[in-house]
Amino acid sequence: MTRYTARRTPRNLAGSGWYEILPPPGPARELDRDITADWVIVGAGFAGLAAARRLAQLRGGDRIVVLDAQRIAWGSAGRNTGFMIDLPHELNSDSYAGAREEDLRQIKLNRAAIEFTRQTVAEFGLNAYFSPCGKYHGAADRAGVKALDAFARHLDTLGEPYTHLDAEGMRAATGTGFYAGGIHTPGAALVQPAGYIRGLADSLRGRVEIYENSPAVRIDTGTERAVHTPRGRVSAGNIILTVNGHLESFGLYERRLMHVYTFASMTRPLTAAERERLGGAPEWGLIPADPMGSTVRRTADDRIVVRNTFTYNPGMETSRRQVARIGRVHDRSFAARFPMLEGVEMAYRWGGQLCLSLNSAPAFGEIEDGLYSACCQNGLGTVKGTLAGMLAADLATGSNNPLLADMLAYPQPSKLYPEPLMTLGARAKLWWMHRRAGRDL
């Protein structure tokens, strides 16, 4: 038997706008006894709930248990910007593009995840949280336009459609004259992440038992597999870990995962007069030409969300001070883009973690007999998490999904550099990349 003990469990600060604008959830059901199940999934984000849904499809009669350390959607799954992106999205590059063959494989996998989500949304009536409206790439200056041109040429080689927009076209779409140009790609979808994740969890209850505020503090493998929480235990035939970066908290994939934070602010709803002054479409999402720039969304309920700034936080925590400091960067980005909305204040500010690897590889596969991992989503967890969760269920049940071969062909996350080189290097690189983003930030 191997025993994996968690040296820390997640503690996200309050403040995610997506969570706060939903009605308050009902009381949490916590695990407070010892139970037996066929499957236990640890982590109820995109990956965990996709694994649960897929298992329920494949093994309808099995007892499936999901544990989360926090309330559903309190973690990164409910605090991201909600872009489900089908196209290459390599944060570590200067234009999102990667190598051609790799990008073609990634597009195929991402689209499978978006299709899985689309079917989930249709089956469970979650349409209010899912909008298949594509995404804009916005370039703030000539350097950004050049980066976008390079990305568009890359899309040509991949045979992917897009529409070019000049500054006027960008203004007509978004209301702001900030962008010198842009492109629109049709395959992305936008989700209200907390609404979708909570809706999915609620829809799965009945087929799947979900326990919140029930952190896995110890995992035993071997002949008596079990996951222990502070007040109970699930003995199960198979364990699927969908805890993203917290995989490392169990001593797994040590020194192979990078814990990066990013931050967002959300305004109050715009008034009718403010909507009139802004113009543009009622809902849209825009990612920056430079991956280190600002992501901006106008939500279906007329709020503006600004996300920017990445920080390297190997301790897997942020602080109110860090959130407030980066909030001032959001305010500057908002003011530069929306001078017509002067006086519209931010109602919510928050940060959340990403898990990246140096070679952008996922931590996916069977770790040992009966213990599976679907973690390390490299900043695009809405799709890569969904995909990893879904495929982990296929792998664990021996299902013949042809996408598994693509997923298993990824290398393992490569080793990080020794400390203090790693932390110093990561912070220096982020500083330089933020500077490079220039006006895109």
Give the nearer residue to ligand FAD in terms of CB position, either 180 or 249. Answer: 249
Instruction: State yes or no: residue 215 binds ligand FAD (CB under 6 A).
Output: yes
**Structure token digits, residue 11:** 């503690």
Closest CA to 391 of 43, 55, 45: 55
Could you give the 3-state DSSP secondary structure of residue 364? strand
Give the nearer residue to ligand FAD in terms of CB position, either 139 or 241. Answer: 241
Residue 20: alpha-carbon gap to chain centroid: 18
C-alpha triplet 196, 201, 204: angle, nearest 5°: 120
Strand intervals (E) in 116-192: 130-131, 135-139, 163-166, 181-185, 189-191
Smallest distance from ligand FAD to CB 245, Å: 7
Instruction: State yes or no: residue 109 binds ligand FAD (CB under 6 A).
Output: no
Q: How far apart are CA 247 and CA 257, in angstroms?
A: 9
Smallest distance from ligand FAD to CB 276, Å: 28
Instruction: State yes or no: residue 441 binds ligand FAD (CB under 6 A).
Output: no
Query: Which residue stretch of 67-75, 149-157, 364-372, 431-439 sits at the interface with ligand FAD (rule: CB under 6 A)?
Result: 67-75
Return the DSSP state at 117: H
Smallest distance from ligand FAD to CB 50, Å: 8
Task: Return the residue of 41, 44, 114, 270 that touches ligand FAD, per CB under 6 A.
Answer: 44
Total residues interacting with ligand FAD, rule: CB under 6 A: 41
What are φ and ψ of residue 111, in 5° steps? -70, -35
Task: Return the residue of 182, 381, 387, 426 that touches ligand FAD, per CB under 6 A.
Answer: 381
Task: Return the residue of 56, 264, 367, 441 that touches ligand FAD, per CB under 6 A.
Answer: 264
Give the nearer residue to ligand FAD in terms of CB position, either 178 or 250. Answer: 250
- Neighbouring C-alpha atoms within 13 Å toward the C-beta of 216: 28
Give the nearer residue to ligand FAD in terms of CB position, either 180 or 265. Answer: 265
Task: Return the residue of 69, 109, 356, 390 that touches ligand FAD, per CB under 6 A.
Answer: 69
Query: Which residue stretch of 39-47, 131-139, 176-184, 320-328 sits at the interface with ligand FAD (rule: CB under 6 A)?
Result: 39-47
Task: Return the residue of 216, 304, 356, 426 that touches ligand FAD, per CB under 6 A.
Answer: 216
Query: Which residue stretch of 114-122, 175-183, 240-248, 335-343 sits at the interface with ligand FAD (rule: CB under 6 A)?
Result: 240-248
Give the nearer residue to ligand FAD in terms of CB position, either 81 or 95. Answer: 81
C-alpha triplet 60, 62, 66: angle, nearest 5°: 100
**Contacts of 58 by beta carbon, 8 Å cutoff, 6+ apart:** 393, 394, 397, 399
Closest CA to 80 of 321, 331, 313, 350: 350
Closest CA to 183 of 139, 131, 132: 139
Instruction: State yes or no: residue 81 binds ligand FAD (CB under 6 A).
Output: yes
Residue 215: cis peptide before it, omega within 30 degrees of 0: no
Query: Which residue stretch of 25-33, 74-82, 92-100, 120-128 sits at the interface with ligand FAD (rule: CB under 6 A)?
Result: 74-82
Containing 104, the helix (H) or strand (E) segment is: helix 100-124
Distances (CA, A) of 396 to 46, 60, 279: 18, 15, 50
Could you give the 3-state DSSP secondary structure of residue 54? helix
Instruction: State yes or no: residue 257 binds ligand FAD (CB under 6 A).
Output: no
Instruction: State yes or no: residue 165 binds ligand FAD (CB under 6 A).
Output: no
Q: Could you tell me if 306 and 295 are in contact, meaning their C-beta atoms sit under 8 angstroms apart?
A: yes
Beta-ladder partners of 294:
none
Containing 71, the helix (H) or strand (E) segment is: none
Smallest distance from ligand FAD to CB 312, Å: 14
Give the nearer residue to ligand FAD in terms of CB position, either 176 or 309. Answer: 309
Instruction: State yes or no: residue 120 binds ligand FAD (CB under 6 A).
Output: no
Q: Could you tell me if 361 and 411 are in contact, meaning their C-beta atoms sit under 8 angstroms apart?
A: yes
Give the nearer residue to ligand FAD in terms of CB position, either 195 or 215. Answer: 215
Query: Which residue stretch of 70-78, 122-130, 198-206, 421-429 sits at the interface with ligand FAD (rule: CB under 6 A)?
Result: 70-78
Q: Which residues bind ligand FAD (CB under 6 A)?
A: 6, 9-10, 42-48, 67-70, 75-77, 79-83, 215-216, 242-244, 246, 262-264, 307, 352, 354, 377, 379-383, 385
